[in-house]
Structure 1
Amino acid sequence: MTSAITPIGLLDSDQVRSVIGAAVLAPSTHNTQPWRFRCTPMGIELHADPERALPVVDADRRELLFSCGAALFNLRTAIQALGAHPATTLLPRRDEPDLLAVVRPFSAGKPDPRLVELADAIPRRHTNRTPFAQAAIPAATVTRLRHAAELEQAWLPRLDAVQLDRLRELVNKSHHAQLADPAFVAEWRYWTGRDRTSRDGVPDYAAGAMPADDGGWILRDFGARPAPRRGRIGEGDPLVVVIGSFDDTRLDQLRAGQAMQRVLLTATAAGLDASFISQPVEVPAVRTELRDLLGGGLWPQIVLRLGRGKPVAWTPRRSLADVLLPPDRFASRP
């Protein structure tokens, strides 16, 4: 489907291919990669892919929007690194709810060195679910992570010791609630434990982290069987943060996804690894409890653990041909 790649604005075809290639390196729930792109004379369109929605774990498609927001931030950043300004319109048309954004790279701009650094981090960022080393993260780095979230209209409160203890309880509560749901288990098994030839889903060599009942951290098994595999993580680790928004509309969720990706790329540029603690934001009742834990002012969108882990294999991505929509002469109309 190479004909779907066309020059747009200041970008030639190879540059358009490269920035969409950067976009698809974003993380997504169960590595579903729920996005599609279309090249039009008016810009690059980002569409949600409803066929890759998760009807059980993400019934309201909040995480789908979050994942697409992460892809959008990669797209914007890659365009900026090429010296073009990515003028972006979010949710441009009410009659097309799956059209999430249009990015128009038509004006030039001097690349911001900080954004070039983030663009360089895009191919290096990947989810690391291994135990992290016992090493404190400098306060200056935490400040940069918090600022990264704020630049995208989201907020990153760091949890204190009391809140962390409560979070462990909430993660275990939500984890067990999910495993008690046969529909969740079926959906989980479908997307996880895949072999190395699969271009989507979580491969069988991946494992995730979650807190244990005894106060330590255990490795969550992303294999075919939904059972945690024990293995303690160091006492001084991980740094656990929450990305939250003041409201919980589709627009807020899309922005929060961009904030998450800016935080993840900032962490990667600082030499940190990251993974997700998704359970407490996937169970609605527990998410409400987490919101109360944060003081009631923020809607928690994702919980991250940050630190330094062992090298791990990357999760696969679909080819560009699989994520490109055919040209549409009516696309990106005013």
Structure 2
Amino acid sequence: MTAQPPDVETVTALVADAAAAPSLHNAQPWAFRYLRDTGVLRLYADPARALPRTDPGHRGLHMGCGAALLNLRVSAAAAGLAPLMRLLPESAYPELLAEVHLCGGGPPDGALARLGQAIRRRHSSRLPFRDEAVPAAVRERLSEAAGAEGAQLLFPGAWHVRSILDLVRDAEAREAVDPEVRRETARWTRTGPSDTTRAADGISGEAFGPRQRGTSTPVRDFAAGRPMPGRGRAPFEKSPNVALLGTARDGPVDWLCAGQALERVLLRATTDGLVASVTSQPLEWPELRWAVRDPVSAMAHVQMVIRLGYGPEGPASPRRPVTDLLDVR
């Protein structure tokens, strides 16, 4: 163990990078507490930022917090630290998701450190991508990134991609007739641009992207039937590059690992010049989720549907200030 815990300024920078992670509806459901005497940084779930109708089991909440945890580890490695991590360290306090001992010994993880430059460049893009395949070598690196976090990344064939698109449309139809889901979506998504809403969370209008001309890609339409003046339609890629991220088991620890794997894949994709968007729409309905998995694969539980490709980067999402996230003791 190193002798001196990191100072508050360093930890503040680490938390700022952690908070750049993606989360369901950009709710940013995380909180941090730094115990400066011991150099321990704790990650907590923020139940006030849960989505009870869309994510009643908190699977998405855990994945978002897992993505923030991966960013924290990347940022720490880039700063020359070698943190030690424990997931769900106290069973009596399930809201305590992880303890990160920033004074861990040994050299920093070089593979993680090399992803540091991608943290601030990674943005979800719901814009049309080019109809261009992702090379096999790039797909292999993305699969390795998921595997490094104990998850699996698969690229389904064309017939399975079509079935996933059908399931996305099915999920959209279910949402359209569920007023509680529509209200929850409206709470966290705003049809105006960020410079008019001045929100620190949620999804602003410019991040929705255009409406699809036809339905060819798994991109969630956050407008959900609400009018958006000036928002047009556009053709999207006819043969989208879709990947499924999954795990062998399906509990809170697995969701945290899946969130870390998701963010590691997204940072690796950003480093390789790809853009991405994710959707969990068909995974939010238990009767649809089982059908998303590839029946000929060994993936037991799909945790996220990822769309990858080459095209324009999406806009940056609003972020809460670190002063709202970090408690120093």
Counterpart pick for 2:179 among 160, 179, 182: 182
Counterpart pick for 1:234 among 237, 249, 269: 237
> Which range moves more in the overlay, 49-58 or 114-123?
114-123
The 5 A counterparts of 1:27-106 are 27-40=22-35, 41-42=37-38, 43-106=40-103
- Verify the 8 A CA contact 1:35 1:47 in the aligned structure 2: yes
**For residues 220-274 of structure 1, what are the alpha-carbon distances to aligned partners after superposition, in whole Å with 9 as ceiling and x for unaligned?**
43237358974321234x3100100011011001100000000000001101111
- Verify the 8 A CA contact 2:12 2:326 in the aligned structure 1: no
- Verify the 8 A CA contact 1:178 1:184 in the aligned structure 2: yes
Aligned to 1:198: 199
Aligned to 1:143: 140
Deviation at 1:110, TM superposition (A): 3.2
- Verify the 8 A CA contact 2:190 2:203 in the aligned structure 1: yes
- Verify the 8 A CA contact 1:217 1:232 in the aligned structure 2: no
- Verify the 8 A CA contact 2:15 2:326 in the aligned structure 1: no
Provide the aligned C-alpha RMSD in A.
Answer: 2.3
Structure 2 SS opposite 1:145? helix
Deviation at 1:286, TM superposition (A): 0.6
Deviation at 1:295, TM superposition (A): 4.6
Aligned to 2:264: 262
Structure 1 SS opposite 2:307? strand
- Verify the 8 A CA contact 1:287 1:300 in the aligned structure 2: yes
Which 4+ stretches in 1 moved above 6 angstroms?
Answer: 209-212
Within the alignment, does 1:322 sit opposite 2:319 as a pair? no
How far apart, CA to CA, are the structure 2 residues paired with 1:245 and 1:14? 36
How far apart, CA to CA, are the structure 2 residues paired with 1:157 and 1:311? 23
User: If the length of structure 1 is used for normalisation, what is the TM-score?
Assistant: 0.89
- Verify the 8 A CA contact 2:65 2:256 in the aligned structure 1: yes
Deviation at 1:277, TM superposition (A): 2.1
- Verify the 8 A CA contact 1:247 1:299 in the aligned structure 2: yes
Identity %: 39
Flag the 1:260–1:208 CA change in 2: closer, same or farther, 3 A: farther
| Structure 2, unpaired ranges of 5+ | none
- Verify the 8 A CA contact 1:208 1:220 in the aligned structure 2: no
Aligned to 2:245: 243
How far apart, CA to CA, are the structure 1 residues paired with 2:265 and 2:299? 21
Flag the 1:209–1:105 CA change in 2: closer, same or farther, 3 A: farther
Deviation at 1:138, TM superposition (A): 1.3
Aligned to 2:223: 223
Aligned to 1:332: none
Flag the 1:208–1:55 CA change in 2: closer, same or farther, 3 A: farther
User: If the length of structure 2 is used for normalisation, what is the TM-score?
Assistant: 0.90
